[in-house]
Amino acid sequence: MEYRTLGNSPVQASAVTFGAWAIGGWMWGGSDRADAIEAIRASFDEGVTSIDTAPIYGQGHSEVLVGEAIKGIPREKVQLLTKFGMRWDTRQGDFAFHTTDNDGNPLDVFKYAAKESVIRECEDSLRRLGTDYIDLLQIHWPDKTTPVSETMEALEILLQQGKIRAAGVSNYSAELLKEARQTLAVASDQVPYSMVERSIEKELVPYCLETGTSIIAYSPLQRGLLTGKIKPDHVFAPGDHRPGTLFYRPENIRRINAFLDKIRPLAGDKGVSLSQLVIRWTIDRPGITVALAGARNAAQAAENARAAAFSLAADERNLIDTALGELVLES
């Protein structure tokens, strides 16, 4: 495994980090507790020392599972990354969306990152995770009802109190990141990035390279699509959010699978899976510090972790990039 420093912080994270959204069950059609805990522990055994979660993932369920999974591991050997600012227990802030919890009960979610809310959420996360500090605390989504400076001031307070080791943002544009950095030199920005979703390369990546801000890429496998295992007629579990997204339209699934067929021989030549090839390509991209890879069981977790165990030569990366240049998705 490779370990990389997050921005200007003291936190070193594994280049492949365990993404704990799916194990929360919410928006993924549920999850199995035992499988989730085994997935995290299998990931750790392969050298993945970092776990990224959030309170909204199962309304606390993901954080609780992460806390259970790391029991018995020396705290200094694991990095806990979590978030704040997606509240389902208040009607303050900027309304985000309607959803349901894991039991099917309706919920309204609000983006809210006022100072007192940030500090309260941090305390709640510490309790659920069973720890006395968080390695990286990130605002989950921008909150247009709270000044960016106020949110950053709350993070500065938590840094001074030792409740967090580093502060980050998530889903921030280059413009918002510049505004945040006027108050606090945040360590990272967590944003969507994959072979088929590369919009951050235009503005955000150059700015992060210029300022030394790390990029944490989420959904590098495009929520499972880039594994090559999803077909146009795939049947999703009730509550799974993926069928409603652009990339999961049947025609786009067909086109992406055709692209994957072009690079599949390279994976075979290197003795790796498509998933591993995709993750390796991602963590080799300019500006990308960490890629989050979710897993719902131990086998998936171990496979993802091993993406850092091999390298890609320049001509191999060029082969992938050429095939990508020929991929056109239906909008």
Residue 62 is assigned to a structural domain of this protein: yes
Distance CA(29)–CA(134), nearest Å, equals 28
Query: Could you tell me if 290 and 50 are in contact, meaning their C-beta atoms sit under 8 angstroms apart?
Result: yes
The one-letter code for the residue type at 309 is: A
Please give the helix or strand (H or E) that residue 64 lies within, else none: helix 61-69
Query: Could you tell me if 228 and 278 are in contact, meaning their C-beta atoms sit under 8 angstroms apart?
Result: no
Residue 259 is assigned to a structural domain of this protein: no
Q: Total domain count for the chain? A: 1
Distances (CA, A) of 293 to 17, 132, 252, 281, 317: 6, 25, 22, 13, 20
Residue 243 is assigned to a structural domain of this protein: no
Residue 330 is assigned to a structural domain of this protein: no
Distance CA(111)–CA(90), nearest Å, equals 10
Distance CA(285)–CA(142), nearest Å, equals 25
How high is the pLDDT of residue 22?
82
Residue 90 is assigned to a structural domain of this protein: yes
Strands 3-5 and 214-218: unpaired
Residue 263 is assigned to a structural domain of this protein: no
Spot the catalytic one: 3, 57, 172, 193: 57
**CA atoms lying within 13 Å on the CB side of residue 307:** 32
Residue 269 is assigned to a structural domain of this protein: no
Residue 75 is assigned to a structural domain of this protein: yes
Q: Residue 95 belongs to what domain range? A: 3-224+275-311
pLDDT tens-digit map of 168-198:
999 999 999 999 999 999 999 999 999 999 9
Active-site residue, 248 included: no
The side-by-side arrangement of strands in the sheet containing 86-87 is: 86-87, 106-111, 94-100
How high is the pLDDT of residue 116?
98
Closest alpha carbon to 148 in 186, 120, 121: 186
Three-point CA angle 237, 48, 140, nearest 5°: 60
Residue 76 DSSP label: G
CATH number of the domain encompassing residue 165: 3.20.20.100
pLDDT tens-digit map of 2-55:
999 999 999 999 999 999 988 876 655 556 788 889 999 999 999 999 999 999
Residue-by-residue pLDDT tens, the chain, 331 positions: 999 999 999 999 999 999 998 887 665 555 678 888 999 999 999 999 999 999 999 899 999 999 999 999 999 999 999 999 999 999 999 999 999 888 888 999 999 999 999 999 999 999 999 999 999 999 999 999 999 999 999 999 999 999 999 999 999 999 999 999 999 999 999 999 999 999 999 999 999 999 999 999 999 999 889 998 888 877 777 767 677 778 888 899 999 999 999 999 999 999 999 999 999 999 999 999 999 998 889 999 999 999 999 999 999 999 999 999 999 988 8
Token pair of 137, please? 């605390």
